[in-house]
Amino acid sequence: MWSVQRMRTNPDGTKRTFGQDFKQFFGRGLAILLPSVLTLWILWQLALFVYSNVGEPINRTVRLVIIEVTPRVVSDERLPAWFRVSRSEIETARERPEFRSTARASDDRVRRYVRSEKLREFWDGHWYLEMTGLLVAIILIYFCGLLLGGLIGRRLYTRVERLFARVPGFKQVYPHVKQVTEMVLGERPIAFNRVVLVEYPRKGLYTVGLVTGSSMLSIRNHAGDDVVSIFVPSTPTPFTGFTITVPKSEVVDLPIKVEEAIRFFITGGVLVPDKEVWDTSGENAPQPLQPPPGIPAGETSPDDHDPGQDRPEGPRPRA
């Protein structure tokens, strides 16, 4: 049974204090809970962003269409009871500040205002209606992809794209955004399907990168050998970095997934795939550096002595 009073000792044999225990257990709990909490928070913020910038604008448009179109195609007798506006409701709405401060509003304007409030109240009372905007967005995106897949759609899209490419400011940003989008979502995306190791930027230093393709023909002809383009991500933002071209014979494939490599880049090498973890507790563990023979630990050798330490201190400069 767990006992708070149980004796704990440090590696040097001294008794652990409450502060040391608190720091250890607090850090352990933080390491366990923080990844889950951060993941949920990121997903929640992403959902709020999509709803606020995609779902809600479409919902407002849908409600506006219902208010404007429904009374024109459906008679008052067939309208739902909550959607009808009586004469007394119109007169009551006229007493509101937004109508009293202006000239007498027409009955149609007041009626639309009352209906919009009723529809909003009905909308808020049925939570599943909030998904209408996202559903409409998915359907519209699907039909856009369907139409642009045809010959006429592609030609129309090309003309519109050329028109936008002439707009100042837009033409400086659009090509780069398009390249990134096509790289991630295009039908022929740039495949980061190989994690490789190259000796870069000099012999003895190794760099992990992602293969992006077979580079350019001019580079291959100049090198006289098959070459590949390798994207070297930056830390901690792996979507930025630089590209190098390396002879294919000097590239070593690593047996890890791209997702594992991305985690390796983001954390600066802290998170290593489980199968690539080096067991430092065995015989292959790195040994601490030992001083040269004849020199006690903690002292430096004569070769490491700084002669400047024995130099007499010169006169101090005058103020």
DSSP 125-193: T-GGGGGHHHHHHHHHHHHHHHHHTSHHHHHHHHHHHHHHTTSTTHHHHHHHHHHHHHHHHSSS-----
296: in domain: no
Output the pLDDT for position 104.
Answer: 66
Cα(259)–Cα(193) distance, integer angstroms: 10
4: in domain: no
284: in domain: no
Q: Are residues 124 and 240 in the same domain?
A: no
Q: Provide the percentage of residues in the chain whose pLDDT is more than 70.
A: 78
Strands 195-199, 206-213: pairing kind: antiparallel
267: which residues sit within 8 A by CB, 6+ positions away? Answer: 235, 236
Cα(257)–Cα(260) distance, integer angstroms: 5
Q: Are residues 129 and 211 in the same domain?
A: no
58: in domain: yes
Cα(138)–Cα(54) distance, integer angstroms: 10
Q: Is the pLDDT of residue 254 over 90?
A: yes
Output the pLDDT for position 139.
Answer: 92
Domain boundary (272, 297, 312) is at: 272
Domain boundary (148, 181, 206) is at: 148
Output the pLDDT for position 284.
Answer: 53
Of 292, 318, 312, 286, residue with least CA distance to 304: 292
- 298 conformational bin, left if phi > 0, alpha if psi -120 to 50, beta if neither: left
* Domains held by the chain: number: 2
301: in domain: no
Q: Are residues 214 and 125 in the same domain?
A: no
Q: Are residues 132 and 230 in the same domain?
A: no
b (16+ CB within 10 A) / e for 255-268: ebeeebbbbbbbee
For residue 209, the enclosing domain spans: 195-272
At 144-161, the pLDDT tens digits run 888 888 888 888 888 988
What is the rounded average pLDDT for all residues in the chain?
Answer: 80
Domain boundary (253, 272, 291) is at: 272
184: in domain: no
Q: Is the pLDDT of residue 121 over 80?
A: yes
299: in domain: no
249: in domain: yes
pTM for this entry: 0.53
